[in-house]
Chain A
Amino acid sequence: MSQTMTIARHGLPRRGGTAWADGALAGLSDALRAEWTKLRTLPGTGWILAAICVLTVSVGAATEAATRCGAGTRCAIDPTKVSLTGIQPGQAVVAVMAVLVISGEYSTGMIRTTFTAMPRRWMVLAAKATVLTGLVLPAAVVAVAGSLAAGRLILSGNGITAAHSFAVVSLAYGPTVRAATGSVLYLALVGLLSLGIATIVRDSAAATGAVLGMLYVPPVIALFLGTERTWQHWVERYAPTNAGMAILTTTGVHKLIISPWAGLGVLAAWAAAALLVAGALLRLRDA
């Protein structure tokens, strides 16, 4: 209920009181304001953003602490990728946040109020996507920066250093910078893809299961396919997380089945497709 009140206070009077053109741009601006207010005033939002950072950095740090390479043995360790292991659980929190942004409204019936106030439903979706991205991006920046800083500290303590010819985590190292920016974008894209799927599925629990299944199942399928090249390459190239995760790699990039940026492109294509289908379904379906 408090959400409805907030919109009434912030959204509507302003619209009546000023000489806003009644165009699409103004509509989008109002939609953005409304969605921002909704998300901002939910008690869980701050916690979720904190969880993205804490989970990503702490799982990364734990993995780094467990990463060792015995003297005299050759280890295929990619320090930047190890540092960013926390992205794996972190993306689940991003996905959950995206699900909550839309499914929360469906489960409380709030969605009807929203659509009454904003009859252009695609605009609601666009606004939700923008606000979600606006919140995920800074959280991802903090999470990724924290993970890399922890990686630099802990891994060098474990002897994973340049002296032992490892490609250490460093902003002077091009691939690390690529992995860092790429993983921030990766998290944002996972959010958008999840938002699209959640809009399609609507029920919150089912959407959470669907989104997380999509994130985590294909990597294991690819593993079990082993040397069955055609199938494995297909999964590695076209599954959203498999392809998207290519961006984390900084050593042996030539051995990847899909190049880092192309992989992120595949994930972006998935996100765009999910949002398009979601937008179309919003128009077609009953609220």
Chain B
Amino acid sequence: MTATITPYRPTQQAGRDGFTQLLHAEWTKFRTLRGWVIAVLIAALLIDVVGLLVPRGDQHCGTACLSGVPTGPGGEAVNDTYYLAAQPLAGDGSITVRVTSLTGVTDHTGGFISPASGPQNPVRRGLVPWAKAGIIITGSTRPGSAYAAMMVTGSHGVRMQYDYTGDIAGLPGSVSAASPRWLRLTRSGDVITGYDSADGTHWTEVGTARLAGLTGTVRAGMFATSPLNFVPNLPSYAESGGGLNASGATGTFDHVDLRGGAPGGRWAGQQVGSVNGPQPPPGIGFRQAGGRFTVTGSGDIGPVIAAGVNSSYVTGTFADHLLGVFIGMLIMIVIAAMFITVEYRRGLIATTLAASPRRGRLLAAKAVVIGLLTFLLGTAAVALAAIVGSRISRDSGTYVLPVGWLTEARVILGTGAMLAVASVLALSIGTALRRSVAAVAAVIVAIVLPYILGVSGVLPASASEWILRVTPAAGFAIEQSVPQYQQVVGHYAPPDYFPLAPWSGFAVLCAYAALALGLAAYLLRRRDAGGAA
């Protein structure tokens, strides 16, 4: 009886901290359940199959539509259609004008895109909110050139806009003979500075823009333009979100002072860009009477937005083919919740916790395994859907709004990360609830249902916007590929546009996941291992 018995100790456990082994154990548990492996693969497959096969309901007009969509200096698709009265400006200099009126027409007779509403609508006098007239310095009159402009607008006061996406507010209020607006642009090399004034003596700097490539002779002058009038929620447009009519704007200028131009230069009128779509109202051009100029134009200088609202092109986005993501997510989060609840049902949790008594680390290991798996599968599936989907769109005549590769990478990796974070959230809910049915139902109602309510249009816009701000479904904002521009009126609604910025929406989802994970870790430590199965 003197012999000592050495108890069996698995030599493996002498490892560093054991977390790697824990990961390995959890991965083995997942990998060896064939149903789960098949389910997550189906989830990834559905992201692609649904995304690529379900057609987006756009009318296609063939590749002929695609020729001639200009892109701005930043690479984004732009509208660049306006009437210009200008002179060359060889070096540094400035242009100053006084604007005494801005008038226009909306809902031009011939301007309906849809024949459904009929051509009987009369021309209405008035201004669309972003009707513009003012002064501009532009590199050339080729659409998509670098420019900076000071302008009065229909209902947004004086603005300085540059390179299509830049927009800075100046003096508020509308322009009239009684309260004119003075505008000035100065050029110094490739730096343009805009000023405004109510009286022509007290000037305020509105903003400064450095325009890359603005060298040599540029053109400086007066312009006018007026974007398509977007009429949201007309009954006949209930499905498309609104109607589009052409509009026009006329600016009246005097006290025109160009410095740095050629001596004795003459103002030459020119239509920049072609009017492509609804017929513009008549009267486009410019007239000079003594020192008084009127310029009338139709079109827009600004970025093209998605859903074809401010251009005559059929536009799509890089993220158009991500419809399958929520279906893939539905399956992934169900599996993620079951990843822990099944252990409770089978009583395996007692064994698992005996083998790894530090319960927080067990939860961490499960989160890493399910998070990494859904991230990798999701990213691969989303990349395929987005890249192949964009090609399909292009081939069928949809103009896919160009975005930088950084944005494309953000959409792909971000959507993969969203699937991973949602899975971790589901795992945490599963840990807290312990019962499969309750957990599965809870994760679907908490994550997928709000998305469905938010994007499906069953709710009024205000309600669905609220849902996509405060619920975990806010994370879907990471899919938005094109930015929203406050200087362009449009139908900014899901699935093209989300109420929160991409990373803010993602942060909302992460906050939910972090809270749930913390709660799950706390409950796992406090409660008995037995479970509620």
Q: Which residues of A contact B (CB under 8 A)?
A: 62-63, 66-69, 73-77, 81-82, 85, 88-89, 92-93, 95-96, 99-100, 103-104, 107, 204-205, 208-209, 212-213, 216-217, 219-228, 231-232, 245, 255
Which residues of the other chain, B, contact A227 by a CB distance below 8 angstroms?
Answer: 57-59, 239-240
Q: Cβ of B452 and Cβ of A209 under 8 Å apart?
A: no
Q: Cβ of B239 and Cβ of A226 under 8 Å apart?
A: yes
B46 to chain A, nearest CB (A): 10
Given B234, B441, B453, B460, which contacts A93 in the complex, CB threshold below 8 Å?
B441
Q: Cβ of B327 and Cβ of A96 under 8 Å apart?
A: no
B210 at the interface (CB under 8 A from A): no
In the bound assembly, the distance between CA atoms of A51 and B438 in angstroms comes to 12
Q: Cβ of A89 and Cβ of B449 under 8 Å apart?
A: yes
17 other contacts beyond A205-B338, A228-B55, with CB at 8 A cut-off? Answer: A67-B463, A68-B460, A81-B458, A88-B453, A93-B441, A205-B436, A205-B437, A205-B440, A208-B436, A212-B441, A216-B452, A220-B455, A226-B57, A227-B58, A228-B57, A232-B57, A255-B238
Which residues of the other chain, B, contact A208 by a CB distance below 8 angstroms?
Answer: 334, 436-437, 440-441, 444
A to B contact number (C-beta, < 8 Å): 133
Which residues of the other chain, A, contact B458 by a CB distance below 8 angstroms?
Answer: 81, 85, 88, 219, 245
Which residues of the other chain, A, contact B438 by a CB distance below 8 angstroms?
Answer: 96
The 4 residue pairs across chains A and B that have the minimum distance between CB atoms: A226-B57, A227-B57, A205-B436, A66-B463
In the bound assembly, the distance between CA atoms of A100 and B436 in angstroms comes to 10
Q: Cβ of A220 and Cβ of B341 under 8 Å apart?
A: no
B residues 475-501 touching A (CB-CB < 8 Å): 495
Q: Cβ of B233 and Cβ of A76 under 8 Å apart?
A: yes
Which residues of the other chain, A, contact B15 by a CB distance below 8 angstroms?
Answer: none
Q: Cβ of A225 and Cβ of B55 under 8 Å apart?
A: yes
Given B58, B440, B456, B462, which contacts A220 in the complex, CB threshold below 8 Å?
B456
In the bound assembly, the distance between CA atoms of A221 and B330 in angstroms comes to 14
Given A68, A73, A75, A213, which contacts B327 in the complex, CB threshold below 8 Å?
A213
Q: Cβ of B456 and Cβ of A209 under 8 Å apart?
A: no
Q: Cβ of B453 and Cβ of A205 under 8 Å apart?
A: no
In the bound assembly, the distance between CA atoms of A95 and B438 in angstroms comes to 11
Given B338, B449, B460, which contacts A92 in the complex, CB threshold below 8 Å?
B449
Given A66, A75, A225, which contacts B54 in the complex, CB threshold below 8 Å?
A225
Given A66, A67, A75, A209, which contacts B330 in the complex, CB threshold below 8 Å?
A209
Q: Cβ of B341 and Cβ of A205 under 8 Å apart?
A: yes
B residues 25-66 touching A (CB-CB < 8 Å): 50, 54-59
Given B327, B345, B448, B456, which contacts A223 in the complex, CB threshold below 8 Å?
B456
B459 at the interface (CB under 8 A from A): yes
In the bound assembly, the distance between CA atoms of A77 and B459 in angstroms comes to 9
Q: Cβ of B462 and Cβ of A66 under 8 Å apart?
A: yes
Nearest B residue to A99, CB-CB: B437
A41 to chain B, nearest CB (A): 17
- 21 A-B pairs whose Cβ atoms sit less than 8 Å apart in the complex: A66-B463, A68-B460, A68-B462, A74-B235, A77-B460, A89-B449, A92-B441, A96-B441, A99-B437, A208-B334, A213-B327, A217-B327, A219-B456, A221-B50, A221-B323, A223-B457, A224-B54, A226-B56, A227-B57, A231-B54, A231-B55
B306 at the interface (CB under 8 A from A): no
Which residues of the other chain, B, contact A85 by a CB distance below 8 angstroms?
Answer: 453, 458-459, 463
Q: Cβ of B462 and Cβ of A226 under 8 Å apart?
A: no
B466 at the interface (CB under 8 A from A): yes
In the bound assembly, the distance between CA atoms of A225 and B459 in angstroms comes to 18
In the bound assembly, the distance between CA atoms of A224 and B452 in angstroms comes to 11
B136 at the interface (CB under 8 A from A): no
Which residues of the other chain, B, contact A231 by a CB distance below 8 angstroms?
Answer: 54-55
In the bound assembly, the distance between CA atoms of A93 and B453 in angstroms comes to 16
In the bound assembly, the distance between CA atoms of A117 and B472 in angstroms comes to 46
Nearest B residue to A107, CB-CB: B345
Q: Cβ of A216 and Cβ of B444 under 8 Å apart?
A: yes
Which residues of the other chain, B, contact A219 by a CB distance below 8 angstroms?
Answer: 452, 456, 458
Q: Cβ of A209 and Cβ of B341 under 8 Å apart?
A: no
In the bound assembly, the distance between CA atoms of A204 and B344 in angstroms comes to 14
Q: Cβ of B239 and Cβ of A224 under 8 Å apart?
A: no
Nearest B residue to A66, CB-CB: B463
In the bound assembly, the distance between CA atoms of A143 and B326 in angstroms comes to 28
Which residues of the other chain, A, contact B233 by a CB distance below 8 angstroms?
Answer: 73-76
A271 to chain B, nearest CB (A): 19
Which residues of the other chain, B, contact A66 by a CB distance below 8 angstroms?
Answer: 460, 462-463, 466
A128 to chain B, nearest CB (A): 16
Nearest B residue to A209, CB-CB: B334
Which residues of the other chain, B, contact A76 by a CB distance below 8 angstroms?
Answer: 233, 235, 238
Nearest A residue to B444, CB-CB: A212
Nearest B residue to A44, CB-CB: B438
In the bound assembly, the distance between CA atoms of A204 and B467 in angstroms comes to 29
What are the interface flags for B319-343 relative to A under an 8 Å C-beta threshold, 1 for contact and 0 otherwise? 0000100110011001001100110
B445 at the interface (CB under 8 A from A): yes
Which residues of the other chain, B, contact A245 by a CB distance below 8 angstroms?
Answer: 458
In the bound assembly, the distance between CA atoms of A217 and B444 in angstroms comes to 11
Q: Cβ of B460 and Cβ of A217 under 8 Å apart?
A: no
In the bound assembly, the distance between CA atoms of A190 and B57 in angstroms comes to 29
Q: Cβ of A209 and Cβ of B440 under 8 Å apart?
A: yes
Given B56, B338, B463, which contacts A224 in the complex, CB threshold below 8 Å?
B56
Which residues of the other chain, B, contact A213 by a CB distance below 8 angstroms?
Answer: 327, 330-331
In the bound assembly, the distance between CA atoms of A227 and B59 in angstroms comes to 8
B378 to chain A, nearest CB (A): 17
B residues 370-425 touching A (CB-CB < 8 Å): none
Which residues of the other chain, B, contact A104 by a CB distance below 8 angstroms?
Answer: 437
Q: Cβ of B460 and Cβ of A226 under 8 Å apart?
A: no
B530 to chain A, nearest CB (A): 15
Nearest B residue to A198, CB-CB: B437
Q: Cβ of A88 and Cβ of B449 under 8 Å apart?
A: yes
Which residues of the other chain, B, contact A255 by a CB distance below 8 angstroms?
Answer: 238
Which residues of the other chain, B, contact A82 by a CB distance below 8 angstroms?
Answer: 459-460, 463
Given A67, A74, A220, which contacts B326 in the complex, CB threshold below 8 Å?
A220
Q: Cβ of B460 and Cβ of A67 under 8 Å apart?
A: yes
Which residues of the other chain, B, contact A81 by a CB distance below 8 angstroms?
Answer: 458
In the bound assembly, the distance between CA atoms of A225 and B57 in angstroms comes to 5
B453 to chain A, nearest CB (A): 6
Which residues of the other chain, A, contact B455 by a CB distance below 8 angstroms?
Answer: 220, 223
In the bound assembly, the distance between CA atoms of A208 and B444 in angstroms comes to 9
In the bound assembly, the distance between CA atoms of A77 and B327 in angstroms comes to 29
Which residues of the other chain, A, contact B57 by a CB distance below 8 angstroms?
Answer: 224-228, 232
A103 to chain B, nearest CB (A): 7
B176 to chain A, nearest CB (A): 23
B341 to chain A, nearest CB (A): 7
In the bound assembly, the distance between CA atoms of A221 and B331 in angstroms comes to 16
Nearest B residue to A73, CB-CB: B233
Q: Cβ of A205 and Cβ of B452 under 8 Å apart?
A: no
Which residues of the other chain, B, contact A67 by a CB distance below 8 angstroms?
Answer: 459-460, 462-463
A90 to chain B, nearest CB (A): 10
In the bound assembly, the distance between CA atoms of A232 and B337 in angstroms comes to 33
In the bound assembly, the distance between CA atoms of A258 and B495 in angstroms comes to 25
Select the residue from B59, B345, B441 with max chain A CB neighbours within 10 A.
B441
Which residues of the other chain, A, contact B452 by a CB distance below 8 angstroms?
Answer: 88, 216, 219-220
In the bound assembly, the distance between CA atoms of A96 and B334 in angstroms comes to 14
Which residues of the other chain, A, contact B449 by a CB distance below 8 angstroms?
Answer: 88-89, 92, 216
In the bound assembly, the distance between CA atoms of A256 and B451 in angstroms comes to 23
Given contacts A66-B462, A67-B462, contact A209 B239 (CB under 8 A): no
